[in-house]
Structure 1
Amino acid sequence: MRIGVPREIKADEYRVGLTPSAVRELTALGHPVLVERGAGSAVGFDDPAYESAGATMVDSAGDVFADAQLIVKVKEPQPDEYRQLRSDQILFTFLHLAPDPEQAEGLMASGASCIAYETVTDRTGRLPLLTPMSEVAGRLATQAGAHHLELHQGGRGILLGGVPGVSPAGVTIVGGGVVGTQAARMALGLGARVRVLDKSLTRLRELDAAFHGRLVCEYATEDALEQALPRTDLLIGAVLVTGDAAPKLLSREQLGVLPHGAVLVDVAIDQGGCFATSRPTTHRQPTFSVDGVVHYCVANIPSAAARTATLALSHATLPYVQALAQNGLEALKRDPGLGAGLNVHRGQITHEAVARALGKPWVAFDGGPE
């Protein structure tokens, strides 16, 4: 199968769908790989490295979309990209369709089979392709929050870990999954006082054991959230409902009790955001303020560490790319977890949570082409 890797064109996105190492693995199996020139240059993977791995370099994304049968990307296709998709192609990338009906309509109109990294599951029900980016995003969330707490960034002028004689910052993390765990790890490492709220008692027990009691692990009720906010300098939203839009956990009125100059980092923004005042931002203009609270709502946080993120993502996706290249849509029947990644097929929404979020009919995948 011919595999195509276009250069990412979303604002401030520097990751690339496949590394030269992954390309080498695919070409060794006999699959031609087309890579747009410059696709990996921002993260240190230059064109000669891809050529050495066996890739064919092409001059434009149009060349990739015109010839490839399987297109491997990182971020959701932009309008100029999904308009080039065809019904005989497979798209494999992050989609985050729940808050993006325009993209959903574009993918449906293309007729292509679109598989979303964020809804692929493994045998235990976990999300193996979302996990590495959640790890990166969680760590960067704390890093970004610490930076924007600096006075000249609009924050309170607080050092996350304090100094002897001065209390450290209070960090509240809503959601104890992969993002929340990694954000907590970074915040504790910097010396902050860290509280994690989650609705799973099992998960809270796991976190308490993993961090040897250094975290405050609290059940997430409205009261608990409201009581935590006045003591919070950095608030991190880390909730996830697979495929669905993120729930709005706190209203503008509730967020108004955060201290002036506090920082809010909404990692769930690519699924619509989990705070009422959140709206997507970019790395070039990462923040805005509402009621004196600095909001960091970058929709592609891992691109700030694009080389690390590219390597982590490519390692995770490679076995699935190999399966798709070898077996096409038959791979979805052989691996139901990969099948769970199919969001759009033959102009229909094939993931139940995505369909619910978009208000569209859900049509279960029927097993492949006629």
Structure 2
Amino acid sequence: MFRDRCDAGQAAYVVRTLDGFDAFVPPPLPPPITFDADLVGRLSEADRSLGQLAGVGRALPSPHLFTRALVRREAVLSSRIEGTRATLSDLLLFELEHPDGPDGDVREVANYVTATDYLLDPQRSVPLGSWLLREAHRVLLTGVRGDRAVPGQFREDQNWIGSSGDGIAEASYVPPPPERLRECLDAFERRLQLPSTLPPLVEIACLHYQFEAIHPFRDGNGRVGRLLVTLLLVEWGLLPGPMLDFSAYVERRRQEYYARLLAVSTHGDWTGWVSFFLDAVAAQAKDVLRRAEALQELRDHYRSSVTGARSSSLLPRLVDMLFETPALTIRSVQNALGITHRAATVNIEKLMSEGVVVELSAAGRRRRFVAQQILRVVNGEDASE
């Protein structure tokens, strides 16, 4: 039973479900966090690294060209943590071809991108709170394998976390029973909307844990919880856009990620979890900063190479398109630039001759092209991710 995994202090928050099993009801935030020298040092490093990234983001001449690629990478990796196998290239080609029917893993990742866009839309009418997260969940899971989880609706039954085939008795974690869910969500929403005395990054770490501990949906909780991190970094002004691919760090250390979250519930180890979160922010901010600088240099190089007395004035615009979406078809270029099929073909072939794009071979399908070097930089030198 779950109670047996908890120390004496945390066992006080374990309740018995109507079916006779243990479940954990996380106490409201804020938690008792001790800011010792080590934690303060990690916080300072995370703040400094994130501040540098934010400064670069605000100084970029066209920041959306970079953030669009990062949103897609975050979508791929956050979904991969939950078992999908789609790559960034798969996603880009899926978006270009707009298939009507379901396409498994790739559509799940595409939904993640759409959910991110919804949350960060400056014109959105839904305020920060539980309803907003329900809407993100609806977008995320509509039309994919998780749609059995009733997209956009909080659960009305008991869920649990464990290995495949485990029942609730063997579960590693059992969230609050449905009859306690409303009180947990109300407390979470109040915390989300009220000013905090904690440093912003520490507050985001606490809110991410609290959401995962409540586990309010039947499926998709991990992805919505990581979307919450992206949302709060932008909503609270820590970043000018979705520039931090938090899931890249989590995907590399997923067992530690789960263990740190669980240790908060079982042993009240907030220091371990917050330290992990701050390390993730610092590491990814530095990594994204390197990639942002590399992408800016690559963009300058490409624009210089396609600019000349006899060059098409459309080529620099095509280069910028590739930094937003590093894949294209003749049709996508036609639509984006308002040009003929022949003009699109001629300009793409010029990009091929300059080594900016390569054509993918796919018998029986429309011609497709990718900017492999851009993909490599976005993926941290590994274009296979």
Report the TM range for the smaller structure's normalisation. Answer: under 0.3
Higher helix fraction (1 or 2): 2
Higher strand fraction (1 or 2): 1
Which structure carries more relative contact order (alpha carbon 8 Å, separation 6+)? 2
TM normalised by structure 1 equals: 0.24
TM normalised by structure 2 equals: 0.24
